[in-house]
Structure formats: structure tokens, C-alpha cells
Amino acid sequence: MGGGVEEWTQERTLEKPANQLDLSEEELNEEITRILTSNNPHAPQNIVRYTYKERTYKPMSTVDQLAVHCVLEGNLIHKDSDEARSQRAQQGLIKVYYCNPGEEAVEMVEGEGGVNEEMGDEESNVRKERKLKNQFNFWDRGSQTLNNPLRCTMYDVYTEELQLQEKNKEKQRTQSSKEDKRETKLVPTETQSDDISKLARVSTNMERMVVQNIFDDIAQDFQYFEDSADEFSEGGTLLPLWKFHYSKAKRLSVTSLCWNQKYQDLFGVGLGSYDFTKQGSGMLLLYTVKNCTFPQYIFSTDSSVMCLDIHTKMSYLVAVGFYDGCVAVYNLKLKTMLPTHKSSVLSGKHTDPVWQVRWQKDDMDNHHNFFSVSSDGRVVSWTLIKVLKEYVYIRYTLSLKRLDASTHLCGRCIDFHKEFDNMFLLGTEEGKIHKSSKAYSNHLIQTYNAHNMAVEAVRWNHFHPRVFISCSYDWTVKIWDHTVPTPMFTFDLNAAVGDVSWAPYSSTVFAAVTSDGKVHVFDLNTNKYKALCQQLVVAKDTSQLTHIEFNPVHPIIIVGDDHGYINCFKLSPNLRKKPKVSLLTLSGFPVK
């Protein structure tokens, strides 16, 4: 027994491990302090940051010492937060009122009664809930797909919206006013069987561009060429520009020409035959100088077209007179080949060829009307009247002109005074010119013994109110003052004169065409006795020139011949001189 205790009381010797550090006595007695800190031993101690100011890396003094051991996301939200409020509002337990900032927000619980509402002195605003932004209900511009859209796409979308809105409005309107039957235009619904029929406008543009490339030099001449030889001589020249010819109009002669006043590159050509024995079909063509290879509008007619006139204001209305005595009105806006209105035996057509038609100003009821002259002795005024809602037809109103039975008036040409619309001149086949008025039915104011053969053309001067010009197959061109019974000037052109026309820019310039293929241009201001220009424009023996017209704005003329060709010429500067003296002083009338 004593042995175990003895073992215990024996001094226990320390056992040293083999690799224990050997320290000296002083070192063993050294006191070492141990500190307890809250530093995270895993936190890095040598983080450096780049400073742009000093452009170096500098060590950061403070390093985050937080060590996260465990994170658990909970689903509790504070009762005053937005989301909590919205939840409660949705559940409908509590009506929530927001007051202005600075006052206490008071909640009133519905279920409890008798709770005072402390709203504060001011009224509270009930505001719409602010939109909550979380990852499911959050969007801004940056997260949208289309950033920086083109202005044009935005514009397109807006215009579409606008159109939809307007359509809706119209639908509502038409629904409300279904009872009163309005004029509903029948819009032709073309079923586009051909894919490319939409390209009509585009293809006409393209054709004009191609033609412009081909006839580029002519277009340049038209715009820019000025004959410099005119400085050295008194006379002028005609520069040939475009030639217009339609292949199907080979055997027809040009019977009338007319420029469109609104679209000054467009002109109308009436084709037919002057020969009594060779009457066949006729054509009405409209060309534009932008495309000289093919006409813009083609209308085929049964009978020769003898005359045409394009309305000055409604530039899509073309009045046409035929050899068989009918008159017709074509509407260029419609895509039909037929005239919109045509006279017939019942409506009082002429019994002889219609030699001239002229549009007049709209009458008092705003109806369009025109006059026609025929060798059956009648001057007829036609009015387009709308009867019933859509039906439009020609009605023959009055105006018969007849002398006593012995002398029968065979009108060949007519022209209305520019200023006094009522007064007009009528040239006849006997060679006389009669001055009369629309107001008088049977009475003639004055008669001029003008020519020995039929009067081909009679025209009032554009500027001078008393002057008019006439021409005839008796080789002469005569200029008159309507107060004087004899002509002021007589020009002998050595060949039958087919047509004469005043220039729109000067009161003293006029041009005439003769059957020997020459164009004569006169300027009475420069030379009273001789033509400034007498130019052969077609082959002498084969063609005769029939008509001539000046363009209203451009310095060009068109000349038609009896083979269906239309030639366009540019006037040289000497032929384009405008009068320097104001005509206001001469006659008291304003210059146009």
C-alpha cells in the first residue's frame, strides 16, 4: 500500500520532447504579453489601391475585418416599409392615408370602431402608390431593347397612331350619321393580281430618267443654250429640241395643239385628218417634254380630233371637238380611255366638223362651260351640270348665231377677248371676221372683210386690248385694230398660212407657220415689215406645218405638221425681247 503513494509523492521528472526548443534562463524568464483583439485573422493586411491623384499604388490603412460565418435570408419586412404597406392595402384590411411630410402618418384600422382619426390640421393627400421596384417589377430605359431609335421610325409610329385614331373617329361619325345618305364615292378596289402594278408611278419616273440620260444634250440646250450670234444681227433663229411622234399616229396630221397652263411641260395634241375623203379615227395625245419618246396620255377616238382646249384652272379637263360634229370632255385624272362626257344627236351636236373649242370661266353657278364653233353655222355653249348627286352630263344651252338666210355663217375659229369676256371674234370660211358678243344672239357688232379664203386662225393680242391677228390660206397674215375696219398690217408669206399665234411675253411678237414647212417669227417692235426669222423646219416637199403654240413660261414653241410629228424649238434671244415701254401708258389697260 505504501508503494503506490510513494510513487505519487515521488517527484515527477518532466519529459522533454526531442525537438523542443532550447532556451536559455533569461529567455525562459522573459514575459510575453498576450492580447485579445477582435481582428479577423483571415483578413488581408496588405491591400493596395491605385490613386489617380498621385498615380501610384498606395496601401489602404483600414481593411474590413468582418468575417461572415453564416447568413440566413429571412422573410420578415418592416411594417413601415413600402412593400409592407402595399401588402396591407392589397389585403384591404387597412386604409392607408399619406399626409404631407412633417406630419404624422396615422393609420386607421377598419375593423376597430371609434378610433379617432388624427389627420392633422391640413387635408391629407391620397396619393397613388409609388411603384415598387424589385427585380421582378423593375425597368428603366437601359434595360429596353431599342435604344436611340431613328427619328424616322418614331415619326412613322406616331403617324400610324394618328391615322388609327382618325379612323376610329370617322367610324364613330359615320355610325352616328347613318341615316342621311351621303355621297359615297365608289372607290374601285383593284385586286392586285399583278405584283408589280404598284410600280406605275415609279416606272414612269424611271423612264423619264432614262430618257433624260439619252437626250441629255437636248435638255442642256433647252435650259442653257443661247445663240450668241444674235448679238450681231437683227434676226433670230430657232434651235431644234425634241421631236415627238407616236408610232400609231403615222397617217394622221396634227390638227390642234394646246399647252397646259398648270403643268407647263405638258401639252395636248389633237390628231386627225383635214381631208374630207380620208376620214378615219383620230387621237388625243398628251406629251410632256420630260419624255419625248412616248406620250403620257393616249386616247383613241372614232372620229378625227379637230380641235382641243385644256382648261386653264382645272388642268385635267380637256375639251375636244370632232370631225363628226361631236364635242367631248376628257378628264385626265380618271384612268379611263373614254371621254367623261360626250355630246350626241339628242344633246344637239353639230352637223359639221367642230373647228374650235374654247373653255370659258365658270358661270355663276360654278359650272364649267365651253364654246364650240362649227361650219354648220352655229356657235354653241356647252355647260357641264351636275344633276342628282353624281350624274354629270352636258347640257346644251343656247347661243345660236345666224345671219339672214342668204349668208350662212360657217365658223372656222373663235377667240374671246382677254379683258371683256363677252366680246369675241369669229372667223368664217368665207374669209370674213365677225365681232360679236355673247349677249347678242343674232346681232353682229362688226364685220371685217379679212381674207379671200377661209380664216384659219384669229387671236386677240395678250396685252393690247384692241389688236387682233388673223391668217388664212390666201398666203396672208393681217393685224387689226378692232375699231378700224381695215387691217393695220398685212404680211404676205408666199405660202398658205396654217396658224398664227401671239407670244405670251410680248405684245409685238408673233409666229406663223406655212405649208412650205417654214416658221416665220415677227417682232413688230424691231422690224415692222420683215420677219426676224424664217426657218425651214421640216422637209420642204413632204410635210406641211399645221399648228404652232408658244409655251406660257419657257422660251420654246411647238410646231405640228401633217405627218403627226411635233417639233419643239427654242427661240433665240432676239425673238424673246420683252417690250420696254409700259403699255399702261398707251392704252390705259394694265399689262398682264
Partner 1 sequence: MSVEETIKRIQSQKGVQGIIIVNAEVLICNAGIPIKTTLDNSNTVHYAGLIHQLVMKARSTVREIDPQNDLTFLRVRSKKNEIMIAPDKDYFLIVIQNPSE
Residues that bind partner 1 (CB under 8 A): 150-152, 154-156, 194-207, 209-211, 213-214, 216, 293-294, 298
Residues 6+ apart with CB under 8 A from 301: 281, 282, 283, 284, 320, 322, 328
Task: Return the number of the residue (155 or 440) whose C-beta is nearest partner 1.
Answer: 155
- CB of residue 195 to partner 1, shortest distance in Å: 6
Task: Return the number of the residue (294 or 489) whose C-beta is nearest partner 1.
Answer: 294
Task: Return the number of the residue (23 or 214) whose C-beta is nearest partner 1.
Answer: 214
- CB of residue 160 to partner 1, shortest distance in Å: 13
- CB of residue 149 to partner 1, shortest distance in Å: 11
> Three-state SS for 409?
coil
Distances (CA, A) of 227 to 185, 230, 297, 403, 576: 53, 6, 34, 51, 12
- CB of residue 296 to partner 1, shortest distance in Å: 8
Distances (CA, A) of 385 to 341, 362, 395, 583: 11, 11, 7, 40
Is there a contact between 428 and 434 (Cβ–Cβ < 8 Å)? yes
Task: Return the number of the residue (298 or 403) whose C-beta is nearest partner 1.
Answer: 298
Task: Return the number of the residue (192 or 228) whose C-beta is nearest partner 1.
Answer: 192
Task: Return the number of the residue (157 or 539) whose C-beta is nearest partner 1.
Answer: 157
In terms of Cα–Cα distance, which of 450, 471, 464, 479 is closest to 519? 471
Q: Which amino acid is at 369?
A: N
Helices (runs of H) and strands (runs of E) counted in the chain: 7, 32
Task: Return the number of the residue (43 or 209) whose C-beta is nearest partner 1.
Answer: 209
DSSP 219: H
Between strands 467-472 and 455-460, the pairing is: antiparallel
For residue 414, give the C-alpha cell.
373663235
Q: Which amino acid is at 385?
A: I
- CB of residue 212 to partner 1, shortest distance in Å: 9
Task: Return the number of the residue (125 or 247) whose C-beta is nearest partner 1.
Answer: 247
- CB of residue 163 to partner 1, shortest distance in Å: 15
For residue 457, give the C-alpha cell.
386662225
**CA 377/CA 430 separation, integer angstroms:** 12
Task: Return the number of the residue (44 or 149) whose C-beta is nearest partner 1.
Answer: 149
- CB of residue 162 to partner 1, shortest distance in Å: 13
- Report residue 566: phi and psi, to 5°: -120, 125
- CB of residue 288 to partner 1, shortest distance in Å: 13
Q: Which residues pair with 435 in a beta bridge?
A: 425, 446
Task: Return the number of the residue (150 or 345) whose C-beta is nearest partner 1.
Answer: 150
- Report residue 159: phi and psi, to 5°: -65, -35
- CB of residue 292 to partner 1, shortest distance in Å: 12
**CA 310/CA 318 separation, integer angstroms:** 5
- CB of residue 236 to partner 1, shortest distance in Å: 32
Is there a contact between 237 and 555 (Cβ–Cβ < 8 Å)? no
